[in-house]
């Protein structure tokens, strides 16, 4: 397989192997711009590289398998705003951890100019929930990398949260979780209204009581402990119900080895802690949206 790129973009394509666990964020990325002499004139070809899915088809021992990742990192360092719309086409693929982990950093480095593109993508119900959730993490990344732009990022999140009744529960849950991470106290009213719709993934966001405590609006002592217990999403409740049925049908449940049914009956000590970033679809990112999930090998 041949890749048709000209220097210095061809050098970006073949830059080398990436070890994700040793390079968790932009400060650990190579200086592509300085080392390779990249400029604005190389942006169109870098965009083509960042979108080039042929990189995923080469043998894993080829350095070109990391070409897309090097491409979007270089675009981030160039602050190539024109790459925002093309890069959004990468969102929505749940199997590609690289996109979920790194695209928030990329948009964070691009700054406020890409907020409208992110807000537009987030507002489109036709887009996959996974991709829309990644845009929420991108907005948080911009706010953290550029504190002066936090107000605009929060406004974009709140605008979508105002449509909580029509959003997927996990989208509402992530919006709330990220607003809390940003300590967006002014968003409390919109958050309360979202909870009133009974359409929030509380395993991702926590309960309204926990939100009020996290935002410093109330003390934990103002509530009963039961107020901090999240509602179980219907699909997970059904899985647990089927698990209990399976256990009841067993002739010797106590002495039986661990089975799928047993595993589905999640004991209290192993239940997901509210607000850790795992919704009903298991969404998580590299520092965005809660705890980081286990890294898959790049294919």
pLDDT (0 to 100) of residue 244: 74
pLDDT (0 to 100) of residue 96: 87
Whether 230 contacts 202, CB under 8 Å: yes
Q: Is the pTM of this model over 0.85?
A: no
The CA distance from 18 to 32, in Å, is 13
pLDDT (0 to 100) of residue 257: 53
Compute the CA torsion angle 281, 282, 283, 286 (nearest 10 deg).
-170
For the chain, the straight-line distance linking the first and the last C-alpha, in angstroms and rounded, comes to 15
Q: Token pair of 279, please?
A: 């919704």
* Mean pLDDT over each residue of the chain, to the nearest integer: 86
Per-10-residue mean pLDDT of the chain, 299 residues long, equals: 90 91 82 98 98 93 95 98 97 88 96 97 94 96 96 98 96 98 98 97 96 98 96 71 72 52 49 45 52 42
pLDDT (0 to 100) of residue 68: 97
Structure-token match 């002739």, residue found = 251
pLDDT (0 to 100) of residue 286: 53
pLDDT (0 to 100) of residue 296: 42
pLDDT (0 to 100) of residue 221: 97
């Amino acid at each position: 397989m041949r890749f048709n790129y000209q220097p210095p973009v061809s050098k970006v394509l073949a830059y080398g192997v990436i070890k994700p666990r040793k390079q968790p964020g932009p400060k650990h990325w190579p200086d592509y711009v300085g080392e390779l002499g990249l400029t604005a004139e190389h942006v169109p070809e870098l965009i083509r590289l960042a979108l080039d899915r042929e990189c995923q088809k080469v043998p894993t021992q080829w350095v070109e398998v990391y070409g897309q990742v090097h491409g979007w990192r270089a675009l981030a360092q160039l602050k190539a705003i024109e790459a925002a719309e093309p890069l959004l086409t990468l969102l929505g693929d749940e199997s590609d951890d690289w996109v979920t982990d790194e695209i928030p950093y990329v948009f964070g480095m691009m700054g406020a100019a890409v907020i409208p593109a992110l807000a537009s993508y987030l507002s489109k119900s036709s887009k996959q929930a996974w991709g829309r959730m990644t845009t929420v993490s991108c907005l948080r990344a911009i706010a953290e990398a550029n504190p002066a732009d936090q107000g605009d990022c929060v406004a974009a999140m709140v605008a979508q949260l105002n449509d909580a009744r029509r959003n997927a529960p996990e989208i509402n849950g992530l919006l709330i979780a990220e607003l809390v991470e940003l300590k967006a106290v002014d968003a409390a009213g919109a958050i309360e209204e979202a909870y009133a719709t009974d359409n929030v993934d509380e395993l991702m966001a926590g309960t309204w009581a926990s939100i009020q405590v996290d935002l410093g609006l109330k003390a934990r002592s103002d509530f009963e402990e039961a107020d901090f217990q999240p509602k179980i999403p219907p699909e997970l409740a059904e899985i647990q119900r089927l698990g209990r049925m399976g256990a009841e049908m067993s002739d010797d449940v106590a002495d039986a080895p661990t089975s799928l049914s047993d595993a589905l009956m999640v004991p209290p000590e192993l239940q997901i802690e509210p607000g850790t970033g795992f919704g009903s679809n298991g969404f998580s990112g590299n520092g965005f949206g809660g705890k980081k999930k286990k890294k898959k090998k790049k294919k």
